[in-house]
Amino acid sequence: MQTNKLRVFSGIQPTGNIHLGNYLGAVKNWVERQDSYENVFCVVNSHAITLPQNPKILKEKTYDLCAMLLACGINPKKSTLFIQSKVQEHTSLAWLLTCITPMGDLSRMTQFKDKSQKNPKSIFAGLFNYPNLMSADILLYKSNLVPVGEDQKQHIELARDTAIRFNRDFGETFVVPEPLIMQEGARIMGLDDPTKKMSKSSSDKPNHSIALIDTPDRIVKKIKKATTDSEGIIAFHKERAGVYNLLTIYQCFTKQTQEEIESEFAGLGYGKLKERVAEAVIEGLRPIRESYEKLILEQDYLHKILDVGAQTAQKIATATYTEAKEKMGLI
């Protein structure tokens, strides 16, 4: 997989259902930039077990997510797609990095604080060490860029610090990655609470997110119940979180400018806004849902793509891990 392009690494967990926020904030950008970069896309199932999981469901969700990524447009001829646990060097390198990462750096990670507060009875060492596995994911492929939202930037900073520390202490080994911050559509908020980012962990709130596998009827019902306000003016005002969120979703699918959208909805009410947003989402997701429904039935084809992806990733991972291991004095 040698090219002159910058290498990009992206990972996504197979927990919950992939939703509109995941798609518009990350996956859609991955798909659109496949020709610009050398892409490594990973379903990070080893990250998922930092919190308790049902093994059978985790396995099913892992393959479901792989099928959905292909349905979204990840092209195995242009990008490497594989399952994290198929390449053991991820966890092996994570151990090396754990041995050179100060506990103070890990204790400052905001995601650890958030998840441990939400799951006070399930705080395991893996959750604390989660950022080192993320650093290993990135550094293993000598990634130049990592597409992230602002809320993930802290983890990229840790990966950068870790790479710099390792290179300084053991010799030049890792590329120091740069964050590739997504702008438009990078933060799609919850329909029920537009002050909080749309999340896969809010499965107990049926109107919080739109799953990519939702039927048109479900999409309409969820958007009809989306939180707005009492002002009745349809405009891109960030302080009016509910309306701004709906307009952002609409813009992501229609590709219109803010001025064009505000002109379109001038004098109209929130009912019409929600109606057109629902139409745009349904039409935008239709080919993805149809492709997914076919792919999930073609398990042999799916496994073949993932096996080839794992083989490609394995070559890079083996070389990098071997180099790092030897420089640390391990045989």
Same domain as 136, residue 162: yes
Same domain as 132, residue 278: no
Q: What is the CATH number of the domain that holds 288?
A: 1.10.240.10
Same domain as 73, residue 41: yes
Q: Give residue 147's identity as a one-letter amino acid code.
A: P
On whether residue 190 sits in a domain, the answer given is: no
On whether residue 24 sits in a domain, the answer given is: yes
CA distance 160 to 163: 5
Distances (CA, A) of 122 to 44, 57, 115, 126, 173: 20, 19, 9, 10, 35
pTM across the whole model: 0.91
Exactly one of 28, 200, 222, 274 is catalytic; which is it? 200
Same domain as 172, residue 87: yes
Our answer to whether residue 59 is catalytic in this structure is: no
Same domain as 158, residue 245: no
Same domain as 56, residue 121: yes
pLDDT computed for residue 113 by the predictor:
72
pLDDT computed for residue 247 by the predictor:
96
On whether residue 44 sits in a domain, the answer given is: yes
On whether residue 144 sits in a domain, the answer given is: yes
Going by C-alpha positions, the residue among 239, 241, 145, 264 that lies closest to residue 193 is: 241
Q: Within 79-124, where are the H helices? A: 89-98, 103-107, 110-118
- Rg of the chain taking only CA atoms, in angstroms: 21
On whether residue 206 sits in a domain, the answer given is: no
Exactly one of 28, 197, 222, 274 is catalytic; which is it? 197
Exactly one of 115, 142, 222, 274 is catalytic; which is it? 115
Same domain as 118, residue 34: yes
On whether residue 286 sits in a domain, the answer given is: yes
Our answer to whether residue 315 is catalytic in this structure is: no
Going residue by residue through the chain (331 aa), what tens digit of pLDDT does each one get? 556 899 999 999 998 889 999 999 889 989 999 999 999 999 999 999 998 899 999 999 999 999 999 999 999 999 999 999 999 999 999 999 999 999 999 988 877 777 777 777 778 888 899 999 999 999 999 999 998 766 677 889 999 999 999 999 999 999 999 988 766 556 899 999 999 999 876 667 889 999 999 999 999 999 999 999 999 999 999 999 999 999 999 999 999 999 999 999 999 999 999 999 999 999 999 999 999 999 999 999 999 999 999 999 999 999 999 999 999 999 9
pLDDT computed for residue 203 by the predictor:
63
Residue span of the structural domain in which 12 resides: 7-181+299-327
Our answer to whether residue 5 is catalytic in this structure is: no
pLDDT computed for residue 296 by the predictor:
94
